[in-house]
Chain A
Amino acid sequence: MNDTVDFLIIGGGPAGLAAAVEADGLGLSTLVLDEQPAPGGQIYRGIESVHPETRSVLGDDYGQGAALAGAFRASKADYRPGAAVWRVDEDGSVAYSQDGKGATATGTRILVATGAMERPTPIPGWTLPGVMTAGGAQVLLKSSGMVPSGPVVVAGCGPLALLITQQLIRAGADVVALLETTKFGDYLSAAPHLLTALRARDYLRKGRQLRRDIRAAGVPIHSGVDALAAVGEDKVRAVSFKRNGARSEIAVDTLLLHFGVAPNTQITRQVFCDHEWYEPQRYWRPVRDAWGATSQAAIAVAGDGGGIDGAVAAALTGRLAALDAAHRQGKIDQAERDRRAAPLRDEFATHQAIRPLLDALFPPPPQICAPPDDTTIVCRCEEISAGDIKEAVALGAMGPNQLKAFTRCGMGPCQGRMCGLTVSELIAKARGETVEETGYYRIRPPIKPVTLGELAAMAAMAAMAD
């Protein structure tokens, strides 16, 4: 099977869905390859099948995904769920795996809309059973209507930590506390942005309401916490932290961690797009123009995979990328493209305006970016610690790729997703250089593991075609 389409979208979240609807409307033949079994990505995960009570617990923002998924289903875009893209080539060809079978497809233009991941959360003990990401718990709530059965603590910083805490409380989970690393100083440095952020009032009101809901349920919010650690032998039994110089422990069955989200750059790196370092939130993102075009001629990016701007902004950038694709392929002229884009850009600007405030309010804590405790596991797959990494740098490993060769850090199944950011930060710190100077892992295919049998079958089919 080798389809050729005008617009090949990888990812079924808001950016991909909105791009598909827009592209289809503009007359582009559109294919969406979605690793998930149903539309929504992570932010709107399970939107088509969520129990009405759970949907109400999750709130209105989540509910907005339903209209988008509906519009997508109504479009003529070709939707392939359960299709894991494992290789993208610069010329727009893509290899993917669906139901254990390998296939290729080609897009005149590719849109990488694979979104974000939570940034790594390396605290001592984070690999213990029972420690999960806040996003992971949210997925369980959205797609399976599940909550932690025992005492749960949410720890970290950022809007999602606040939101999941409130959602879990509303769902009836035994939330013992929210531990925030955010401290008073962060609020002070955020203050100047209050004046410029157009929707700051709305946002702050939302945040205040969330905090009120949490406190009203009798759940304490401890701010300015530091030195988080998951305590336990074979599973987590407590979260330990420092606050105002004093160390405390809270017994838990589940510990949820969240320190912000970062673009998932596996595909954009694998297809050799240029990337830049975004200092305020300490993550890498692909270099892109106002239409999402990357440094690769056939590749565009939209949504949180290009830079964290949230779900509504993701849909807008998806549509902008579709407009650009339609223009490039002669479906609309430049004037038409710009005319249609104008209101989208205005709306995007209002959503983006909140970012400097959020970035200043929720910077990822330095001790999460570069864990100070040498025993902290950094590479979960290969079980390499911060101390191992520092030792390898002292031995002469001058970057993430030499480090990988020396320690196997980053060689496991996740191929650097859980450790890449941390590794670059630790190496930069040890070598006294900027993270931008240090660089990142070389990302190679397969983006997701694929069986040799599938590959062999693809080779056989290609041989027959020749």
Chain B
Amino acid sequence: MHSADVIVVGGGSFGAAVAYGLVRKGVDTVVLDGADDSLRAARGNFGLVWVQSKGMGLQRYADWSRESSHLWTDFADDLKDSAGIHVNYQNGGGLNLLLSEEERETCRRNIDIMRQQAGADGYDAEIIERDEIQKMVPGLKVGDGVAGGSFGPHDGHANPLRLLRALHRGFEHLGGRYFACNQVTNITHDGGAFVAETPSNCFTAPKIVIACGHGITKLAPMVGINAPIRPQRGQVLVTERIETTVEMALGSIRQTDEGGFMFGNSEEEVGFNDGTTLPVTGNIAARAVKAFPQMANVRLVRNWGCIRVLTPDKCAIYDESETLPGAYVATSHSGVTLAAVNAHHVSKWVATGETPPDFDHFSARRFDVPAAA
């Protein structure tokens, strides 16, 4: 039986960030992670630190995302110190390319909605024209089919795999204990502490954070939390390495620091099928070539599907169990964006009980159907 102050279930972006924040504060933490072939959204993540599209319908989430982007630089520096790994965070803003008048119109409407919703908090994304876009990406020829773009000054991107590795390494350097191949099968409370069982081990701690993506569906009810999440597939293309051409994140297009271009983005309701399909691959490629015709002779090297952890309103769930205080659930599909606030604020919430302002907005209870009057 291993004991700790906090058990974090899940070693993906969410779990690793919260766990890192905990050990940074000197909290004795164990991370329980799955196997090599477990579902891992963190390994398929695009790498955006994205604000402009977040929180429609939940202003608190828009603010939370923005706050995270403001913390990200210090967060990345901190990781560099404790893990010795540079995650290459670029915060020059982000540009979402609009490839038709229809897309442009939809975007304009969404910007209006977000501005209204934000009120005094403000909402900073705006539509910019093609010639403005060309000035922002001087290394690339912008295609004629680009109808405009929405620029968000708080947006950016980082290397998502190095982020995961840095979080793991920082966690272990600071004294955290990591257990791979220890998928949690059962969580109980023995009156004093939570007990998490895995196939080969048993762990106990007064607090437990369930941050294991789709594993939440089975585990959260064990601690009295109902966190409705569903799988949604996104397919990604990555190309051969190319000399650095653009540093800004371009929504569903980004150039990694190694040089490959990544192209997304699909939203498919296919259960847990993380395969790829020829039509979607072709469509993503077509959009890439439309946006930047120079991509026509650039080669695809790898293509994958990744299963997002999606909440009903696409905003994060952070919840503490009412029946078993000390048990938490934390999840969203934006593990890279939120890594900074997860490491900073969520770990503090778990460690000290100090709830960030208006955190109840993120409770899963917001999805409960109200009982008839």
Contact present between A and B (CB < 8 A): yes
In angstroms, how far is the closest chain A Cβ from the Cβ of B253? 11
- Which of B165, B178, B301 meets A405, CB within 8 Å? B165
Chain B residues with CB under 8 Å of A89's CB are 278
Which residues of B have CB within 8 Å of A462? Answer: 279, 282
The answer to whether A401 touches B283 (Cβ under 8 A) is no
Partner-binding segment picked from A112-120, A159-167, A261-269, A408-416: A408-416
Task: Tell me if A246 counts as interface (CB < 8 A to partner B).
Answer: no
Q: Across the two chains, which residue of chain B brings its CB closest to A441?
A: B36
What CA separation (Å) do A241 and B289 show in the bound complex? Answer: 52
Q: Are B301 and A451 in contact, with the CB atoms below 8 A?
A: no
Q: Which of A188-196, A346-354, A391-399 is found at the contact surface with chain B?
A: A391-399
Name the A residues within 8 Å of B168 (CB-CB). 395-396, 406
Is there an interface contact between A459 and B36, defined as CB atoms closer than 8 Å? no
Check if A446 sits within 8 Å of B301, measured CB to CB: yes
> Considering the complex, which residues of chain A in the window 104-118 have a beta carbon less than 8 Å from any beta carbon of chain B?
104
What B residues does A438 contact at CB under 8 A?
36
A411 CA / B256 CA spacing, docked (Å): 13
A406: which B residues are within 8 A, CB to CB? 161, 164-165, 168
**Residue A95 at the chain B interface, CB threshold 8 Å:** yes
- Interface size range of chain A in the complex: 35 or more
Does B37 interact with chain A (Cβ within 8 Å)?
yes
CB distance from B279 to the nearest CB of A (A): 6
Residue on B with the closest CB to A407? B165
Q: Does A458 contact B (CB under 8 A)?
A: yes
Closest Cβ of chain B to A452, distance in Å, is 4
Q: How far is the CB of B41 from chain A (nearest CB, A)?
A: 12
Inter-chain contact A451/B33, CB cutoff 8 Å: no
> Is A442's CB within 8 Å of the partner chain B?
yes
Known contacts: A444-B276, A455-B281. The answer to whether A405 contacts B289 by CB under 8 A is no
In contact, A104 and B278 (Cβ under 8 angstroms) = yes
B233 beta carbon closer than 8 Å to chain A: no
Interface centre among A399, A442, A451, by most B CB within 10 Å?
A: A451
Residues of A within 8 A of B164 (CB): 405-406
| In the complex, A445 has a CB within 8 A of chain B | yes
Whether B285 is near chain A, meaning CB under 8 Å from some CB there, is yes
- A456 in the interface, Cβ–Cβ < 8 Å? yes
Q: Which of A330-359 contact B (CB under 8 A)?
A: none
B285 lies within 8 A of A456 (CB): yes
Give a binary string over B178-219; 1 marks a CB under 8 Å from any A CB, 0 the rest: 101100000000000000000000000000000000000000
Given A444-B304, A451-B296, A405 and B285 contact (CB-CB distance below 8 Å): no
Q: B35, A395: Cβ atoms under 8 Å?
A: no
Q: Number of contacts between A and B (CB, 8 Å)?
A: 116
- In the complex with contacts A399-B35, A439-B37, A452-B239 CB distance below 8 A: yes
Residues of chain A contacted by B181 (CB below 8 angstroms): 398
Among B290, B297, B303, the residue within 8 A (CB) of A451 is B297
Contact of B282 among A405, A444, A456 (CB under 8 A): A456
Q: Which of these, A411, A456, A459, contacts B279 with CB under 8 Å?
A: A459
CA distance A458 to B289 in the complex (A): 13
Interface check A37, CB cutoff 8 A:
no
Cα distance A439–B38 in the bound complex, in angstroms: 13
Interface residue? A70 (CB, 8 A)? no
Across-interface contacts of B289 in A (CB, < 8 A): 452-453, 456
Residues of chain A within 8 A (CB-CB) of B351 are none
Closest Cβ–Cβ distance, residue A47 to chain B (whole Å): 30
Interface string of B256-289 (1 = CB under 8 A from A): 0010000100000000000010110111011011
Q: Does A400 contact B (CB under 8 A)?
A: yes
Instruction: Compute how far the CA of A456 lies from the CA of B280 in the bound complex, rounded to whole angstroms.
Output: 10
A444 near B297 (CB under 8 angstroms)? no
**Interface residues contributed by chain B, number (CB under 8 Å):** 43
A104 to B282, CA, bound (A): 12
A398 B296 Cβ-Cβ under 8 A: no
Q: Which of B154-190 contact A (CB under 8 A)?
A: 161, 164-165, 168-169, 172, 178, 180-181
- Taken together as a complex, chains A and B put the C-alpha atoms of A400 and B164 apart, in Å, by 16
Contact status of A450 and B299, CB under 8 A, knowing A398-B36, A459-B283 = yes
Q: Is A143 an interface residue (CB 8 A)?
A: no
Contact of A95 among B178, B278, B286 (CB under 8 A): B278
Instruction: Name the residue of chain A whose CB is nearest to the CB of B275.
Output: A272
Q: Given the complex of chains A and B, what is the CA–CA distance between A262 and B279 in angstroms? A: 33
Taking a contact as CB atoms closer than 8 A, the residue among B35, B180, B285, B303 that contacts A444 in the complex is B303
Contact status A87-B278, CB under 8 Å: yes
- Distance in angstroms between the alpha carbons of A459 and B279 in the assembled complex: 6
CA–CA, A461 and B201, complex, Å: 55
Determine if A411 and B302 form an interchain contact, defined as CB atoms under 8 angstroms apart: yes
**A450 to B, closest residue via Cβ:** B300
Decide: A400 and B282 in contact? CB cutoff 8 A: no
Q: How far is the CA of A418 from the CA of B36 in the complex (A)?
A: 21
Query: What chain A residues lie within 8 Å of B279 (beta carbons)?
Result: 459, 462
Per-position 1/0 for A140-152, Cβ under 8 A of B: 0000000000000
- CA–CA, A455 and B304, complex, Å: 15
Complex contacts, B303 vs chain A, CB 8 Å = 444-446
Contacting residue for B278 out of A401, A408, A415, A458, CB 8 A? A458
A411 partner residues in chain B, CB cutoff 8 A: 302
Q: Is the beta-carbon distance between B302 and A446 smaller than 8 angstroms?
A: yes
- CB distance A453 to B35 under 8 Å? no
Contacts of A87 in B (CB 8 A): 278
For chain B residues 35-53, which have a beta carbon within 8 Å of chain A?
Answer: 35-37, 40, 42-43
CB pair A458 B43 closer than 8 Å: no
> What is the 8 Å Cβ interface bit string for chain A, positions 30-68, against chain B (1 contact, 0 not)?
000000000000000000000000000000000000000
Whether A295 is near chain B, meaning CB under 8 Å from some CB there, is no
CB proximity of B181 to chain A, nearest CB, Å:
5
- Write out the residue numbers on chain B whose beta carbons fall within 8 Å of the beta carbon of A460: 286
A27 at interface by CB-CB < 8 Å:
no
In the assembly, what is the distance between CA of A408 and CA of B259, in Å? Answer: 13
If A396-B168, A399-B36, A401-B37 touch, whether A452 touches B278 (CB-CB below 8 Å) is: no
- Is B74's beta carbon under 8 Å from chain A? no
Chain B stretch 324-347: residues in CB contact (< 8 A) with chain A: none
The yes or no answer to B240 lying at the interface (CB within 8 A) is yes
**What are 12 pairs between A and B in contact, CB < 8 Å?**
A395-B165, A396-B33, A396-B168, A396-B172, A398-B35, A402-B43, A444-B276, A445-B281, A452-B285, A455-B285, A455-B286, A462-B282
What 10 pairs between A and B have smallest CB-CB spacing? A399-B36, A459-B282, A453-B296, A455-B285, A398-B180, A449-B299, A456-B286, A452-B285, A456-B289, A459-B286
Interface residues of A, Cβ cutoff 8 Å to B: 87, 89, 93, 95, 104, 395-402, 405-408, 411-413, 415, 438-439, 442, 444-446, 449-453, 455-456, 458-460, 462
Can you add 5 more A-B contacts, CB < 8 Å, to A402-B36, A405-B40, A456-B282? A400-B36, A408-B161, A452-B295, A456-B289, A456-B290
